[in-house]
Structure 1
Amino acid sequence: MTHPGIPPRTGTPATARGRAKEVVIGLDVGTTAVKAVAFGVDAPWRHLAVCEIDPGPVQDTARIAAAITKSIAQCVYACADARVLAVSVSTAMHGLIALDADMRPLTPLLTWADGRAADQARKLHTSGQAAELHRVSGTPVHPMTPLAKLLWFREHDPDLWARARWWVGLKDYALWRLTGTLVTELSSASGTGMLDMAARDWNPEALRLTGVGPDRLPRILPTTAALEISPTTAWDTGLAVGTPVVTGAADGPLGNLGTAATAPGMAGLSLGTSGAVRAVVPEPYADPEGRLFSYALTDSAWVIGGAISNGGAVVRWAGDVFASDIPAGPHRDTALLELAAAVPPGSDGLVMRPYLLPERAPLWDPDLRGAYLGLSHRHTRGHFVRAAVEAVALRLAAIVDDLERVHPVTAVRVTGGAFRSPLWRSVVAATVDRPTVFTSGAEGSALGAAALALYALGCAPTLDAAPALLDPASAEGDVVVTSAADVDTYRAMRAQAADG
C-alpha cells in the first residue's frame, strides 16, 4: 500500500543510484516554503524536496502541516534503502498560533511580518519596560515578537484569549505535528521576547505582563533533545516507527551553522526577501545599546546580530512599481538588476530609505517610512533599482558595525537567493568592507538542522565539525572581488547614512 504523500515508485532503484547507507533529514519550515533535505552521512549525497506555502503575514496552519508531511515523505522515498538516523527541525522565528484544548488552531500562524501589535510595542518603549525586557530575553521589543502579539490579543480579542488553551510558535506546532508532543526548544523560545536567557526558562515578568501563565506555554527543551516520530506521522511519511526527531533550533542560528559561519570573527550574512547578519558567541549577550538580538543555537552557543525586514523584497517592489512592462517573475528581477549594474556606484546621488515594511535592526523602529532622496531628471529606473540595492546593503553594513562593538568582524560569509546576482554580491561586499565569501548552498538552515542532529546523536565530535560530515563542501565558497573605488564610495555613503 502506498503511503500518503509518497510518489509512485518509478525510475532507477535506490541501490543502483548509489544511495548513502545512513542519512539525516534536515527539515526547514520557512515563511515561503518547507524544505526537507536528506543528507548522506560521510557520503556526498543529498536529496531536496520543496513544498511551497503561501507567503504573507498570516499563514494557513493546515497547509504548513501538509507541506511538512509531503516534503519528508519525498525524502524518505528518495533514499528508500538507507537508514534515516533522525529528522531535525529548523523553523522561522517569531510566529504565534493559538490552540484550543483539543489542539485545534484558533488562529492562523502570525509570522514576524504581522504588524498588528505596533501600538503594544510602542507602549512598552514609552513606559521604559522595553529595555529591561530586551536585557532579560535577548529579543528587542518589536511588533514581530510573540510578546507584543500576546498583548494585542489580550486587549483586542478577549473571547479568543479566553478560548486559547495554548499559545505556541511555529517550531512548537511542527514538533507537535511530527511527534504528538507539545514542547518548544531554547532557540525558538529565545526569539519570543518571553525568555529569561540566564535561567533558560520563561521570564516571570513577561508572563505577568502578558497574563499568560507557564501552563499555557510549551515546556522548553534543549535544542539537542530528541523525541520520537508519532505512529501517524511515521505512516504518513514512510519513516520507521521510533525515528528520532531532534528538536533543532531556529532558522537563523542554524543558518550560521550550515554555512560555516561559526568561527570567532566570522559573520554570517543572509539575504532573501528579508535579511540578517549574525555571529556566534559562547554565551548570551545583553546588548547595552539595545540594538542586537541574542538567540540560542545550543546552551553554549548563542547567535547575536540583527535582522532587516526590507531585503530583496525592496527590489521586488521596485520592479512592481518601475517595470510593470516586464512580466513579473525571475526574468523581471534579472532584467532590473542588469539595468542597475549599468549605473555607477552611488546611483548618481540618488539615495533610498528602504523602509517599506516595519523595520527591525539596527534601529528596531516599525514607524520608519521609506523615501527616495536626491532625485533629478537624469535618474532612470536603473538608478531607482540600484539605489534600492545600495540602501539594503547599507542597513546590513550597519549591523556588521554593531557586531564590531562586541567582537571584531574579520570576515563575512554571504548566502541567500539574492546573491545569485553579481550586483548584489559586489555591492554588499564593498559596503560591509571586509573579506567576503559567497557560499551558494541554498539549504543552509536545513544543513544546520541536520548537523545539529548528528552532534546530538553523538555522531560528530563537535558541533562545528558536524556540517562537513554531511556536506564536505559546506565550508567552501567563492571570494567576492571588489574594487577600491567601490569600497571608498560606499564608505562615504555609510558615514552619511548614520542610521538614517
Structure 2
Amino acid sequence: MAGGTRGPTLLAGVDVGTTHTKAGVYRTDGTPVAQRQAATPPDAEGLRDTALRLLAECVSVAPVPPVAVGLASMAETGVPLDADGEPIGELLHWQDRRAHREADHLAETVGRAPFFVATGLHPSAKLPLARWIWLRRHDPDRTRRMARWASSADLVLAALTGTVATSPTLAARTGAFDLRAMAYASDLLDLAGLRPDQMPPVVAADRVAGRVTPAMATRTGLPAGTPVVLAGHDHLAAAWAAGVRGPGRTADSMGTAEAVLTPVAAVPPMPATPTGISVGPFLDGRSYCLISGLSSSGGLVDWWLERFAPPDCPDRYRWFTDLVGATTDRPPTGITVLPYLHGRASPQPEPHRALSFHGVRPEHDLADLGRAVLEGLCMQVRWMLESQVATSGHRPDAVTVFGGPTANPTWMRIKAAVMPVPVVVLPDHRSAVLGAAQLAGRAIGVEDGPPDPPPPRPAAAPHPAWETAYRSRFLPLATSPDPSGSEETP
C-alpha cells in the first residue's frame, strides 16, 4: 500500500499510560503527522472515551486515513467486563496497594520460586491476580458478574472493534499466565474463583486482533474495517520504537515509572536470592524480556514538585529544569537519595522500603535537593541494570533511553555520568505510541526500519566522584537494613 495519488501510508497508535493517554499518526519512517495527549482518567469509561477522542483528533488532521491502528497500555491496570462488554465498577489500578495481604498469602500458598517458574513474576499487590483474590473476598458480586477481564489496551480494542482480546505481554503481567505453556494457569485462577474462559483470548502483536466497526468509523474517522493490533505492554512497545527489537540490546523506558528492559533468547534460571527481575514474552514472538521496574521515576519528581515548586508556577517542569540546570556538569551533590516513594521492586525487593534523603548539610540549597533526587533515580537504574547483566550474562554496548523525562537535560547528563555504559538518548516521539503504530504496520505487512540512533553519550563527567557516590554511598545505604522496619502499609 504505497503512497502515490492516495497519499502517504500512515499508521496510528494509542498508548494508555499511568499519567497520560497519547495518540499519534505517523509515516512509516516514524515521522509524526499528528500527536495528541491528555491526562489518563481514573475510571474505565473515561479512559476509553479519552483514548477514542485523541485518536479521532489525530485522524481528523491526517492527510489520509491510517491503514492500521496499534494499541499499547500500562500493564497491570484493568477492569472486569460484564456479559455485554461493559466495565463493572472501578478500574483496578497497578498502583492500588489494597491487595498486599493477598500478595503475601499468594507467596506463602504457591511459593515464590514455583510462582516465578510458572509466571516469570514475583507476587506483589500490583498483579491483577492478587487484586482478583481481594475482589473475591471484599466484593464477590463483581467476581460473579465478570464475563471477561480487560487490561487498559483491551478496553480500547473492545470499543473500537467489539472484540475482547489481549496481548501476550499483557496476559503475562496478570500473575495467572503460564510463561512456558503460553496459556492461563487454571490452578492460579482458581485461587481467585475464576476460570480461564473469563480471561481474554491472547492475540500476538503480529496478528490483527479486530477491525473497526461502522459505529466506531463514524466516531473516529477511521474507515470501517481498519485493522487494529494489540501492541501490548507500553514499555515494550516503546522499546520497539527505539530499535530495541531482540536480544543484544538494553532499553531504559522513562515515564511516571521507569523500566530497564533486556531482550533475551531464553528464560534464565531463577537466582538464589530474589532480584525483583520479571520475565515475560517479547514482542517478536520468539524471545523473552527481562524487566526491572522503578515505580516512581517521573512520579518521584512530581512528588517533589508538589512540595517545593512555587504554587503560582505556570510550568512546574520548566521551573524544575531551570532550577537543577542552573549549574551544569557539577560533581555529585553529596546527598544520597533512596528513591523509593512506593517501595522497591528490584534488585532487592522491599515493598515497604521508604523514600529517604541522607547527607543533607546546611550549605545545600533547593537546587541541590532537586539534583539529588535525579542522582538517586539514576543510581537506582544503574543498580537495576547491573542486576540484569549478572542475570543475563550480557553487558550491553550502550543503553537506549527514551520517554518524557529525556526532555530534562540535567537528568540525562547525570544518567550518562552514573551509568557504566554509554547512553543513547532518543527524541520524545520515539515512544510507545509510535511503537504501537509500527507493530500495527508489521502485522499487515507494512515494514519499517529501526531508527538510526544518535551517537552515544559518554560519561558527561567522567570523574571518580560519581563512582564513589554510587559504590561507597548509594549501594551501602540501599542494601542496609531498612531503619523504618517492615511494617505493612495500609
User: Counterpart of 1:479 in 2: which secondary structure?
Assistant: coil
Q: Is the 8 A contact 2:56 2:219 kept in 1?
A: yes
Matched, 1:496 2:476: yes
Shift of 1:273: 1.9
Q: Is the 8 A contact 1:90 1:446 kept in 2?
A: yes
Amino acid of the structure 1 residue aligned with 2:389: E
Corresponding position of 1:12: none
Counterpart of 2:163 (choices 170, 174, 181) is: 181
Shift of 1:126: 4.2
Q: Count residues with an aligned counterpart.
A: 469
Amino acid of the structure 1 residue aligned with 2:91: L
Counterpart of 1:447 (choices 434, 452, 455) is: 434
1:276-330 per-residue CA deviation (whole Å, 9 max, x = no partner) reads 1111123444543442112222321322121111202222222322344662622
Q: Is the 8 A contact 2:266 2:288 kept in 1?
A: yes
Relative to the length of structure 2, the TM-score reads 0.88
Matched, 1:362 2:340: no
Shift of 1:479: 2.6
Corresponding position of 1:201: 183
Corresponding position of 1:401: 386
User: Counterpart of 1:247 in 2: which secondary structure?
Assistant: strand
User: Counterpart of 2:135 in 1: which secondary structure?
Assistant: helix
- More displaced 10-residue stretch of structure 1: 33-42 or 401-410: 33-42
Cα gap change, 1:360/1:313 in structure 2, threshold over 3 Å: closer, same or farther? same
Counterparts of 1:377 and 1:33, CA distance in 2: 38
Corresponding position of 2:101: 119
Q: Is the 8 A contact 2:329 2:460 kept in 1?
A: no
Counterparts of 2:432 and 2:406, CA distance in 1: 16
Corresponding position of 1:64: 47
Counterparts of 1:302 and 1:361, CA distance in 2: 18
Corresponding position of 1:484: 462
Counterparts of 1:334 and 1:483, CA distance in 2: 19
- More displaced 10-residue stretch of structure 1: 120-129 or 136-145: 120-129
User: Counterpart of 1:355 in 2: which secondary structure?
Assistant: coil
Cα gap change, 1:452/1:301 in structure 2, threshold over 3 Å: closer, same or farther? farther
Aligned runs of 1:410-421 on 2, under 5 Å? Answer: 410-421=397-408
Q: Is the 8 A contact 2:45 2:87 kept in 1?
A: no
Counterparts of 2:386 and 2:31, CA distance in 1: 38
Counterpart of 1:247 (choices 227, 230, 233) is: 230
Corresponding position of 1:75: 58
User: Counterpart of 1:109 in 2: which secondary structure?
Assistant: coil
Q: Is the 8 A contact 2:257 2:297 kept in 1?
A: yes
- More displaced 10-residue stretch of structure 1: 154-163 or 184-193: 154-163
Relative to the length of structure 1, the TM-score reads 0.87
Counterparts of 1:421 and 1:294, CA distance in 2: 30
Cα gap change, 1:439/1:45 in structure 2, threshold over 3 Å: closer, same or farther? closer
Corresponding position of 1:346: 332
% same residue: 26
Amino acid of the structure 2 residue aligned with 1:177: A
Q: Is the 8 A contact 2:324 2:410 kept in 1?
A: yes
Counterparts of 2:376 and 2:31, CA distance in 1: 39
1:145-190 per-residue CA deviation (whole Å, 9 max, x = no partner) reads 1011111111111232223332221122121111101111211111
Counterparts of 2:161 and 2:438, CA distance in 1: 20
Matched, 1:49 2:28: no
Corresponding position of 1:382: 367
Q: CA RMSD in A?
A: 2.6
- More displaced 10-residue stretch of structure 1: 362-371 or 322-331: 322-331
Counterparts of 1:278 and 1:311, CA distance in 2: 15
Corresponding position of 1:262: 245
User: Counterpart of 2:136 in 1: which secondary structure?
Assistant: helix
Counterparts of 1:86 and 1:413, CA distance in 2: 27
Matched, 1:28 2:2: no
Amino acid of the structure 2 residue aligned with 1:112: W
Shift of 1:367: 1.1
Cα gap change, 1:498/1:265 in structure 2, threshold over 3 Å: closer, same or farther? farther
Corresponding position of 2:422: 435
1:314-365 per-residue CA deviation (whole Å, 9 max, x = no partner) reads 22222322344662622332243235x56953323x2222221243333333
Corresponding position of 1:233: 216
User: Counterpart of 2:290 in 1: which secondary structure?
Assistant: strand
- More displaced 10-residue stretch of structure 1: 171-180 or 69-78: 69-78
User: Counterpart of 1:279 in 2: which secondary structure?
Assistant: strand
Corresponding position of 2:484: none
Matched, 1:310 2:292: no
Shift of 1:444: 1.7
Aligned runs of 1:456-471 on 2, under 5 Å? Answer: 456-460=443-447, 466-468=448-450
Aligned runs of 1:77-156 on 2, under 5 Å? Answer: 77-80=60-63, 82-127=64-109, 129-156=111-138
Q: Is the 8 A contact 2:16 2:40 kept in 1?
A: no
Q: Is the 8 A contact 2:185 2:196 kept in 1?
A: no
